[in-house]
Amino acid sequence: MTKTLLLLLLFPLLMFGNMAKPWSDGSEHSVLFGSENASVKRETIDINLKYNALDRHYFATYTIRYIINSQQKQILPLLFIAINLNENKEIKVNNKISKIIPLDLRNTAYPFIEKSGNQTFVKYDDAHKVYVNQNDLLYFAADLEQGDNIIEVKYDAELTYNTFGFITNYELEYSLAPSKFWKSFGPIDVKLIFGDELEFKESNLGKGKEDKNTLKWTIAPQNREDLKIVISEKTSFISKVLLFIQPIGISAIALLAMFVLHLRLIKKKPKKYVMILGILLVPILFYVIYFLSYDLIDFSLGKDHTKHGYVLLYVFTYPFLLLIYGLLVWFIYKRRKVKSENLTKT
């Protein structure tokens, strides 16, 4: 409790919430919702990250292939969640383009679609459901032959990314929950392709097999945890060190160095004006270094400027830092003066 109060006194910025949204939402999409009349023998997901120069962020082009085994010739209605997808969408069934059909949510009898009043939800399980409207579901009729069939789905999806901070982290999410609605569902091969400007950060699938700018995973049939991958902008070793220290760390190291230098000056010239001048200047220089360190890190990343929230609110902590630093230096100064006077008397 004492530590918390002290932090709030030293850094009142902690009491302010960031009013701006710190991230941009990405697309929400999923495996095909299927039927017990057919089985998916294998699924391959190719994800190619591309840069959009217009909004200066990356998006993902998905190419998803299903090998579906049908015990009979049939027309199978299929759909998948497609929230916030770009307009570029294409579906092929056995190399023939399949038309996307408007889905009337009022007359559907799918077991995974749940209605509550005027709202419609896609229900993954008892604990997880997603609100949808007619445009959030891509529906088509797959004309399946007896035996193996290939369904290919292509679309562009937005990525979730942070809007504040030095580097941008991109999150890819893909729901595997609908796989349980098929008669059976085989392994899923995932391939992620990204450029030299990006690097892998983390995934709930682990690191995966890496080959230059390509990562590969295979998801076993018994593992149906939703796919989550985080990619970030590539940084140099120096940038990684600076990002680890952060501006508060850089300025804290500088504060410690200035504190030591200030004490040496007081020892060399134990005058009151040396103590007072240092008490006034050191906290100011701490904030100057703090703000300049943002530019230093941006420069190491090759960026002109990045958004960092309400950084200027730290200025309001100056009186607290001035008070604490002043009391500490004054205490040391007084203690040395008393000790010096005692030595003189003896």
* pLDDT per 10-residue tile (average), the chain, 346 residues: 39 40 77 82 93 86 92 86 83 90 70 74 70 78 91 91 85 86 88 90 86 88 83 90 91 92 85 85 90 88 72 73 86 75 58
Closest residue by Cα to residue 43 from 124, 159, 150, 174: 150
Domains of the chain in start order, with CATH, are: 23-233 (2.60.40.3680), 237-345 (no CATH)
Q: How far is CA 335 from the centre of its chain?
A: 51
CB neighbour list of residue 73: distance below 8 Å, 6 or more residues apart: 144, 145, 146
CA distance 298 to 304: 6
Q: What is the pTM of this model?
A: 0.77
pLDDT, residue 164, reads 80
pLDDT, residue 41, reads 92
DSSP per residue over 246-289, as a string? HHHHHHHHHHHHHHHHHHHHHHHS--HHHHHHHHHHHHHHHHHH
Q: Tell which phi-psi region holds residue 84, choosing left (phi > 0), alpha (psi between -120 and 50) or beta.
A: left
pLDDT, residue 47, reads 93
Torsion from C-alpha of 218, 30, 180, 122, nearest 10 degrees? 160
H or E segment and range at residue 7: helix 2-10
CA distance 285 to 220: 57
pLDDT, residue 76, reads 85
pLDDT, residue 310, reads 58
CA distance 287 to 315: 7
Residue 340's SS3 state is helix
pLDDT, residue 108, reads 66
Q: Which residues pair with 161 in a beta bridge?
A: 24, 170
pLDDT, residue 13, reads 38
pLDDT, residue 154, reads 92
- Taking each helix axis from N to C end, the angle separating 318-345 and 237-268, rounded to the nearest 10 degrees, works out to 40
Q: Which residues pair with 67 in a beta bridge?
A: 42, 150
Could you tell me if 187 and 219 are in contact, meaning their C-beta atoms sit under 8 angstroms apart?
A: yes
pLDDT, residue 132, reads 75
C-alpha pair distances (Å), 105 with each of 5, 31, 96, 115, 121: 54, 19, 26, 9, 10
Strand intervals (E) in 54-102: 57-70, 74-83, 85-93, 96-97
pLDDT, residue 48, reads 94
Torsion from C-alpha of 241, 247, 248, 250, nearest 10 degrees? 60
Locus of tokens 């996307």: 100
How many degrees, rounded to 5, is the angle at CA 131 between CA 91 and CA 124?
Answer: 70
Q: What is the distance between the terminal CA atoms of the chain, rounded to a whole angstrom?
A: 46
Sign for the CA dihedral angle at 71, 146, 31, 109 comes to negative
pLDDT, residue 189, reads 92
pLDDT, residue 45, reads 93
